[in-house]
Amino acid sequence: GESVGLHLPTLSVQEGDNSIINCAYSNSASDYFIWYKQESGKGPQFIIDIRSNMDKRQGQRVTVLLNKTVKHLSLQIAATQPGDSAVYFCAETGYDSWGKLQFGAGTQVVVTP
Amino acid sequence: GAVVSQHPSWVICKSGTSVKIECRSLDFQATTMFWYRQFPKQSLMLMATSNEGSKATYEQGVEKDKFLINHASLTLSTLTVTSAHPEDSSFYICSVGGEETQYFGPGTRLLVL
């Protein structure tokens, strides 16, 4: 069941610095991973994805790194801006459960001026 | 990517009443949609998979008789929370599997008094 009073991990970043958000996953069968950004009161917004046959993928100001050996995923945001303040979730799915996303706990990113 | 809408964006109801939430895929014909629930400061939890023209499949611990799902067309899935109670108060979010990834609706905030 859900926990009451759970607090999200928070990453405080100064504007202009780079952010690194980490995510550990547990399902070895997962082969598709997605990073979402969620602003308060809104639905998750797609940022970037990566498949298990890759270890790095770059987008606009964002880079996702995948380490399958240790089941670790990271999102790097370059030159963090105030508009990047949000909760970031990693999500995973696999061929055996395609489309059913398993979400990580989330990280609250706070950008300070 | 797929554009997904939800209606209503927020709803307040009395305990014991039923509430229907709509999820529409505006530019993509979706044979499958997903329903998630999110409590404050927590991650998204998959509730059920909505299948067009057939019964929904529910995740473990989700009562199918309480959360009725209907996916009557390729662009519309509805979630009805029957006999709602205060503990059902949450943020309900649907997603659509686009050609490459999952896209989320803006969410519906439900408050049961």
Chain B: give the shortest CA distance to residue A5, in Å.
8
Of the candidates B37, B39, B59, B38, which has an alpha carbon nearest to the alpha carbon of residue B48?
B59
Residues of chain B where predicted confidence (pLDDT) is lower than 70 = 98-99
Whether residue A3 has pLDDT greater than 50:
no
Phi and psi, residue A41, nearest 5°: 75, 10
Tokens describing residue A29: 């069968």
On whether the CB atoms of residues A37 and A44 are closer than 8 A, the answer is yes
pLDDT in tens, A8-47: 899 999 999 999 999 999 888 889 999 999 999 999 999 9
Phi and psi, residue B17, nearest 5°: -90, 170
Q: Which residues of B touch A43 (CB under 8 A)?
A: 4, 6, 93, 104-107
Contact: B107, A42; criterion CB under 8 Å? yes
pLDDT of residue B99: 61
Q: CB atoms < 10 A from the CB of B59, how many?
A: 15
Chain B interface mutation, best of A3, A37, A46, highest count of B Cβ atoms under 10 Å: A46
On whether the CB atoms of residues A81 and A19 are closer than 8 A, the answer is no
Spatial distance between the Cα atoms of A19 and A13, rounded to a whole number of angstroms: 7
pLDDT of residue A52: 93
In sequence order, what are the residues at sequence separation of 6 or more whose Cβ sits closer than 8 angstroms to the Cβ of residue B2? B25, B26, B27, B28, B30, B96, B97, B98, B103
Contact: A100, B42; criterion CB under 8 Å? no
Contact: B44, A89; criterion CB under 8 Å? yes
Chain A: give the shortest CA distance to residue B113, in Å.
19
pLDDT in tens, A49-86: 999 999 999 999 999 999 999 999 999 999 999 999 99
